[in-house]
């Protein structure tokens, strides 16, 4: 995806009802695109990248032929949706009562 396509996608997702923030980060924890404020972006990027690596490690340890496709962390205040792609991780923060992704 070209950079402007990524930007459009981030904007589109962010416009959904209940979406509190969108972040695209690489596996070094470097934010590529964000709808959040700078400090919040850096903190989320670092913690969520590390957490995603952890999840990938757990799944590989349980079965080396398996692979993480999607992660959801629901908390009292929001739900974090994490879609780990080959080079980038897409992170969406949504209101727990809303339904951007509610499959």
Where along the sequence are the contacts to a copy of itself (CB under 8 A)? 43-44, 47-48, 50-51, 54-55, 58-59, 61-63, 65-78, 102-103
* Token pair listed for 94: 């949504």
Comparing CB distances to a copy of itself, the nearer of 6 and 53 is: 53
* Residue 3: CB minimum distance to a copy of itself, A: 27
* Residue 45: CB minimum distance to a copy of itself, A: 11
Comparing CB distances to a copy of itself, the nearer of 30 and 70 is: 70
Comparing CB distances to a copy of itself, the nearer of 24 and 93 is: 93
CA 98 to CA 100: how far, in whole Å?
A: 6
52-80: b (≥16 Cβ within 10 Å) or e? beeebeeeeeeeeeeebeebeeeeeebbb
3-state secondary structure of 5: helix
Site of tokens 């739900």 = 79
* Residue 84: CB minimum distance to a copy of itself, A: 10
* Residue 35: CB minimum distance to a copy of itself, A: 16
């Amino acid at each position: 995806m070209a950079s402007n396509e990524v930007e459009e996608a981030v904007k589109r997702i962010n416009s959904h009802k209940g979406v509190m923030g969108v972040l695209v980060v690489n596996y070094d924890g470097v934010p590529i695109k964000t709808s959040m404020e700078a400090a919040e972006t850096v903190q989320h990027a670092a913690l969520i990248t590390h957490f995603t690596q952890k999840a990938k490690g757990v799944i590989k340890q349980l079965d080396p032929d398996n692979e993480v496709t999607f992660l959801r962390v629901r908390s009292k205040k929001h739900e974090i949706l994490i879609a780990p792609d080959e080079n980038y991780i897409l992170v969406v923060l949504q209101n727990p009562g809303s339904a951007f992704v509610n499959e």
